[in-house]
Structures are given as C-alpha cells and as structure tokens.
Chain A
Amino acid sequence: MVGVNEGVSPEQLRYARALSVGMWSGLALLIVTFAAYLAGALPVQAPFEDLPRLWSLPVGQYMQEIGLETGWAWLASGRGDLLALSGIALLAGISMPCLLLLVPAYARRGDRAHLVVTLALVGVLALAAAGVFVPH
C-alpha cells in the first residue's frame, strides 16, 4: 500500500480523511438498509413478486406504477425498498462537505481562482442534489 506523501498539501489530506469517513459510512448504510429491505423489516413500495415487471419499464412509467413522485419523496416514504437508497445518497453527497473543507485554505492563501471554482462546483452539486435539474 502507498503511504502518505510528504509533499501533499494539508487541505488535500483533510479532504482524504473526510472522504474516507464518508465512504465507509455510506457503504455501511448501504449494506444495513439493503439487508433490512431483503429481510422485510419495513413495508415495501414495490412488492418483490412485481419486480420482474417493474424493472423492465422505463423510469417514468415505473414511477407512475409504484405511485411515487420524483425528487426526495422516497426519503419520507418509510418504505424499505426506497430507504435502501439512503446509503447511495450519502455516497453521492459526500464530496460536497469534503470540497467545503478546501475553502478556508484557498481563502487564506488568496487563491481566488480555485476558491471560485470550488464554490461553483459545490453549487452545481448542491443544485443537482436538490433536484433543480429534474422537472417535477
């Protein structure tokens, strides 16, 4: 295994630590919620026996069939098959707080270009996560 390189900037090391914590947390949540889903710990939105018909439909038709709105409605559903997506959301979202860890270092160093790029990137990811690009 390759160890820590002494030339790496402190903010990059902070980013790596945060990413590692987020990645393991996301994976753990993914496995726990999926195991709960398979074990039938919670009621499901799409019954197991209907899955072969549902998973061959285009996504728009699938959403209509199971009666779910686009966006974050899945999180409030309390359904096992949808809550199994929470680990996926954590994995997709972990980069945002990690990127924000870079901001103080760039601001302190007066690196305006990277400061603007980092904030713009966080903005794009936040808009995507909020579902702004997906019409309801």
Chain B
Amino acid sequence: MSIPLPASFRSLALRSAVGLSALFPALAWAGDAGAATPWWVWPLALFAVCFVLGMIAVPAGIGGGVLFVPIVSGFFPFHLDFVRGAGLLVALSGALAAGPGLLRAGLADIRLALPLTLFASAGAIAGALLGLALPVAAVQVALGLTILGIAALMWHSKRSEYPEVARPDTLGAALRLNGLYRDPANGRDVSWQVHRTPLGLALFSGIGVLAGLFGLGAGWANVPVLNLVMGVPIKLSAGTSGYILSIVDSAAAWVYINKGALLAIVAVPSVIGMMLGAFIGERLLKQLEAAVIRRLVIVLLLVAGIRALTKGMGWWA
C-alpha cells in the first residue's frame, strides 16, 4: 500500500536533491582538509548523500550504483578502490531487494537471464580484476567518459513497449528463450521471443566488464540491450535486468572482497542510506513528475562525470 506524502515533503525531497549538488564543493574542500575533519563526519555525510541518491534513483528508473561511484569518488576522500567495492554492494543490495518480487510477479524471467548472466558474470570478474590493476587516474578518466556517455544515453533514450520479433535466431530458439508474461498494469498476456542472441551475449560480456571495472550497476545498459537489441518487452527487460544484476554484481563483489577492497565503514552506511532513500523514493515515484527527476539525474551525472574526468586528468585533484 502506498502512503501519500504531503506536498511539503515532496518539495523537501526535491530541495534535498538540488541541495546535494550544492554540497559537492563543500565535500571536496573538506576532503582536501584531510586530517582536520574528524573521521566520523565522512560515514555520516556518506549516509546522508546516499539517502538522497536513493530517493532520486528510484523515480529516475536507475540503480543507485551509477550515481554512487562517480559522486562519492569525486567528492569524498575514499580511494577509488573502496568506492567501487561499495558501489557494487549498493547495486547488489538494491537488485537483491527487488529480486524476489520481480521473480514472483513474472516480471523477471530466469530462463532468459541465465545465459546472459553467465557471460556478464565472466566479464564482471575480468573487469574487476582489470580495475584493480590499472592506474587509478586511468580508471578515473574512463569512469568520467563512461558517466558522460550514460548521461547522453539517458538524454536520448528510446524504448519499445512490445518489440516485434518476426523470427527468433537459431541460438535463441535452441535455448528456448521465449515465453508468455502477463503485464500486471493491464492484465494482458504478452508472447515474447528473442532475436540477435549472439550479439546480446557479446554485449552482456562488455556490460559485465564495465560493471566490474567501475563498480556500477549496469541496468542503464542491460535494459536497452534486452529491449532494443534482443526484442524483449520493456517491462520484462527492466525486471530481468534487475535479476541479472543480483548475480553479476555478486560475481564482481567477490573479487573486491577477496582483494580487501570492501571497507565496512564505507560500504555499510552507503547501503543503508541508499535503501532507506529508495524506500521514500518508491513513494515519490507516483507523485513526482518523472521528467523532472530524469533531468535532475542527468545534471548530477554531468557534474559527477566532469568531476571524475578533471580528477583523473589531474586538473582538479
């Protein structure tokens, strides 16, 4: 059941999100001050920032990880290794929290997800190993470029409610990647099948590399590949993407855990803040104009992407 939120609260939520942008320079300055700032300020600030990120991530239809890594690595004093580890955990927790409901509702299809997940998991492990081996400035520059690319993708994003797949490809047919799902919004039974499966598998391997390399959840890439490349209906794409993340992010998370790149003092406040924020965000979803939130997220991504780029290039350490 959804609890309606008063208008003053909605306004507060929007102001918090806008205020978050204003907070960035202060955080960067405090990060430079280094030892002068008491240690406990940072986990508290992280919790507060993640709470706001969680609040806007749900209405924007993105996972928190894609905002978390560039913003926290750009404006907090934590090394990028620990931020990526925490980012994966943030994305993993969100995917695990949503997973059971999506699977029960038939909005995620395990049979469709499994082959894609296998390729993406292998890619994520490779990406995580690569990310921890590369010089941090190179990863920061690549992260900045990727985040700016995601902002452009969100700006121009297209979607197809029920894509037409005239004929399944040989591999998709052999794996029997087809089915029937009931759209809970209108009760309509939708028959689906896939095409371009080999291309989909290749793209998911690449998406896995990006997820492991940068510690980003990869819903922003999973959904367009499932929907626009493979021809899966949009709602099934979004749900299946969430389920895929619950496995792919765990594959990469193991690399970070085994390397020691997960600090409880960074990861746990982030996860709890993001989940509490998402809880409020889920209620805001029905009351805020999606386009406003989407534009706000694009602005945040642009700021965070430029910050990652300038940090990586050494222009603004």
B265 contacts A91, C-beta separation under 8 Å: no
How far, in Å, is A1 (CB) from chain B's closest CB?
A: 7
- Those of B97-152 within 8 Å (CB) of chain A: 97, 99-101, 103-107, 109-111, 114-115, 117-118, 121-122, 125, 129, 132, 136
Interface 1/0 per residue, A27-43 and B, CB below 8 Å: 10011011001000000
Select which of A87, A89, A124 is within 8 A of B251 by beta carbon. Answer: A124
A23 contacts B39, C-beta separation under 8 Å: no
Q: How many A-B residue contacts, CB cutoff 8 Å?
A: 190
Chain A minimum-CB-distance residue to B99: A19
Interface 1/0 per residue, B75-93 and A, CB below 8 Å: 0011101100000010011
Once the chains are docked, how many angstroms separate the CA of A20 from the CA of B132? 31
Select which of B1, B39, B78, B106 is within 8 A of A49 by beta carbon. Answer: B39
Select which of B106, B115, B255, B260 is within 8 A of A7 by beta carbon. Answer: B106
Contact A128:B132 (CB < 8 A) given known A1-B101, A56-B78: no
Contact A128:B114 (CB < 8 A) given known A16-B104, A51-B39, A52-B39: no
A74 contacts B89, C-beta separation under 8 Å: no
B175 contacts A70, C-beta separation under 8 Å: no
Q: How large is the interface on B (under 10, 10 to 19, 20 to 34, 35 or more residues)?
A: 35 or more
A76 is an interface residue with CB less than 8 A from chain B = no
Select which of A5, A8, A16, A57 is within 8 A of B79 by beta carbon. Answer: A57
B303 is an interface residue with CB less than 8 A from chain A = no
B257 contacts A5, C-beta separation under 8 Å: no
Select which of A3, A13, A92 is within 8 A of B103 by beta carbon. Answer: A13
A70 contacts B264, C-beta separation under 8 Å: no
**Chain B neighbourhood of A87, CB < 8 A:** 268
How far, in Å, is A58 (CB) from chain B's closest CB?
A: 6
**Chain B neighbourhood of A13, CB < 8 A:** 103-104
Once the chains are docked, how many angstroms separate the CA of A62 from the CA of B106? 44
Once the chains are docked, how many angstroms separate the CA of A107 from the CA of B129? 34
**Chain B neighbourhood of A102, CB < 8 A:** 110
Most chain A beta-carbon contacts within 10 A, residue among B115, B136, B255, B257: B257
Interface 1/0 per residue, A69-111 and B, CB below 8 Å: 0111010000001101101110111110001001000000001
Q: Is the interface of A mostly helix, strand, loop or mixed?
A: helix
- Those of A45-76 within 8 Å (CB) of chain B: 48-49, 51-53, 55-59, 62-63, 68, 70-72, 74
B198 is an interface residue with CB less than 8 A from chain A = no
Once the chains are docked, how many angstroms separate the CA of A97 from the CA of B184? 29
**Chain A neighbourhood of B268, CB < 8 A:** 30-31, 34, 84, 87
A52 contacts B104, C-beta separation under 8 Å: no
B99 contacts A23, C-beta separation under 8 Å: yes
- Apart from A1-B1, A94-B250, list 19 A-B contacts with CB within 8 A: A4-B105, A15-B103, A16-B103, A17-B100, A19-B96, A23-B96, A34-B268, A51-B265, A52-B35, A52-B39, A55-B42, A55-B82, A63-B260, A70-B259, A72-B258, A82-B264, A95-B246, A113-B174, A121-B118
List the 10 closest pairs (A to B, CB-CB), nearest first.
A5-B106, A84-B264, A16-B103, A128-B254, A20-B100, A2-B105, A131-B258, A59-B81, A134-B258, A59-B261
